[in-house]
Amino acid sequence: MQSSSDSSTFKLDQRVHSTNDPRRIGTVKYIGPVEGHPGTWVGVDWDNGEAKHDGSLNGVRYFEARSQLSGSFVRAQNLTAGISFIEALYIRYRDQPTQEDEDEMYVLSASNKRVSVQLVGKEKIQDKLSRLEELTGASLSYLGVSNPGSPNEIRNIVPNLKELDLTGNLLSEWKDVGIICEQLPSLAALNLSNNSMSHEIVGLPLLKSIHILVLNNTGINWTQIEVLKDLLPVIEELHLMGNGINAIKTASSSIVHGFDSLRLLNLEENCIAEWNEIVKLSQLRSLEELHLNKNNLNHIFYPDHDTIDKLVGGDESHDQSCIPFQNLRCLLLGGNNIDDLASVDSLNSFPKLIDIRLSENPIADPGRGGIPRFVLVARLAKVEILNGSEVSTRERKESEIRYVRLVMSKLHGNPDEIKQHPRFVELKNFHGIEDERSSVGTTGPQKMASGLLSVTLKSVAPSIGEKPPLTKKLPAATTIGKLKILCETFFKLGSIRPKLFLQEEGSPLPILLDDEMATLMDVGIGNESTVLVDEES
């Protein structure tokens, strides 16, 4: 790979990487002398933030780095300004590929999954570069690509590329991206992640064959997306992870229009806090998947037409016949700050929504006062995939019955509780569950809902050793504290203090049962539930 020993090769704001490490990428912020050190230096602000200072040295400010330790001064010979597209292609495909190369052969697609691309190694092309014309997919990630090279060079050598991964290179100008794309008429998937792209989109032609565009960690904002929108007539997937986007800023409307073919929009790991920003996407007729994991959302709702009218302020019209989010079937909301039941219940209003992620939100974390999976399943009438796990017919039935009985146990003495459970009456009638009746015994009133539950207790504690699971009939009103005492007896624990977990179908991890005053019904333990018995560490 080429390098330069002449500081005049570099210019301010140019993207460079370390000569010995193409993954160490930064931006030139200063060229000149450094007090107390002879010769000319290049001040670089490194992307990974792992350097020595903030652009100042010994009290002298040379440039402004992004963080206190992302800047350093480097000799020119230790930097490279990059290579052409074809030079990178030759480096990647003329030699025998390493395992690292093979691991990199992918293009990100739906749900941030890797879509494998064809790898042509030395044994296939036998050093005959003419065979590169057969290549339909290529990964040139982290090779220092900074320019498209000579005119028509790409077209002549790899005319049949359909998938191209340019992750982590030195591209920054959109016109260079345009030159590459113009020479690849069949290009359908393009990954430009981890290239710091210019905020001015100039020189970019109509990208009439691009169906998948990945722009993760490129510094792009929605104002630029509005410009790109008109240049992507057939775009189906758009990935915009990690760009610090906090608002959907449109040029002339409060509602996003266009994107007629867009099926998947990935806005994960951004900074969106207000659901009204997401409502601006509600008129995208083809949108099926919306990825919003790891933003800052704390409340969501389904927008009716009145809500949208207020959003546009009455100064513009929108298509009243367009049902908001009319084709949305997958909504990923994991890792946000959602903590209210109204947000959960609003998901029932989305017409076709069946795939939902709510994990790592307070409302879905029983350890933070949230509700367990079975309650989520019961409250979400149409969900078929919850937090990445399929909701089976059996799980739905059992969850709804457990949920109804849980609500019934809370209604005694608190009839207003029913207002918090919109689906309760519907589910109670659907499953034919009768109202609880009290009977008077020697110990006073007893609730039928507090009847016996068949619970399997399974030891997983190292100190207890291997013991067969025990199935016990327990009253639904048994507290977690009482169950711990029973476990000490059942498993002859002696001085070992048990720690209990509920193992739920569809949940990747068991749920800690740490509220000793809560009853089995309160924490969602139903008939045929499994409780894991561990030990306090």
Fold of 14-80: SH3 type barrels. (2.30.30)
Residues 399 and 365: beta-carbon distance below 8 Å: no
Every domain of the chain with CATH number 3.10.20.90 lies at 452-535
Helices (H), 217-340: 222-229, 275-279, 305-312
Instruction: Note the pLDDT of residue 219.
Output: 94
Structure tokens that stand for 439 in this block: 């009977």
Residue 232 has pLDDT above 70, yes or no: yes
CA distance 150 to 44: 28
Q: Which residues pair with 190 in a beta bridge?
A: 164, 213
CA distance 513 to 483: 10
Q: Provide mean pLDDT across the span 149-156.
A: 93
Every domain of the chain with CATH number 3.80.10.10 lies at 83-96+120-397
Q: Provide mean pLDDT across the span 40-56.
A: 92
3-class secondary-structure state, position 375: helix
CA distance 345 to 383: 12
Whether domain 452-535 has CATH 3.10.20.90? yes
Residue 122 has pLDDT above 50, yes or no: no
Residues 487 and 465: beta-carbon distance below 8 Å: no
- The whole-chain average pLDDT of the chain stands at 86
Q: Residues 436-448: pLDDT tens digits?
A: 544 434 333 344 3
Every domain of the chain with CATH number 2.30.30.190 lies at 14-80
Q: Provide mean pLDDT across the span 198-212.
A: 93
Residue 2 has pLDDT above 60, yes or no: no
Instruction: Note the pLDDT of residue 111.
Output: 52
Q: Residues 294-344: pLDDT tens digits?
A: 999 999 999 987 777 777 665 555 566 679 999 999 999 999 999 999 999
246-249: which pairs have CB atoms within 8 A and are 24 or more residues apart? 246/270, 246/271, 246/272, 246/273, 246/277, 247/222, 247/272, 247/277, 248/222, 248/272, 248/277, 248/278, 248/280, 248/281, 249/221, 249/222, 249/223
Instruction: Note the pLDDT of residue 497.
Output: 85
* DSSP conformational letter for 479: B
Whether domain 83-96+120-397 has CATH 3.10.20.30? no
Helices (H), 164-302: 174-182, 222-229, 275-279
DSSP collapsed to 3 states, 433-466: CCCCCEEEECCEEEEHHHCEEEEEEEECCCCCCC
Estimate to the nearest angstrom the gap between the alpha carbon of 61 and the chain centroid.
Answer: 39
CA distance 90 to 436: 76
Q: Residues 312-325: pLDDT tens digits?
A: 665 555 566 679 99
Instruction: Note the pLDDT of residue 314.
Output: 54
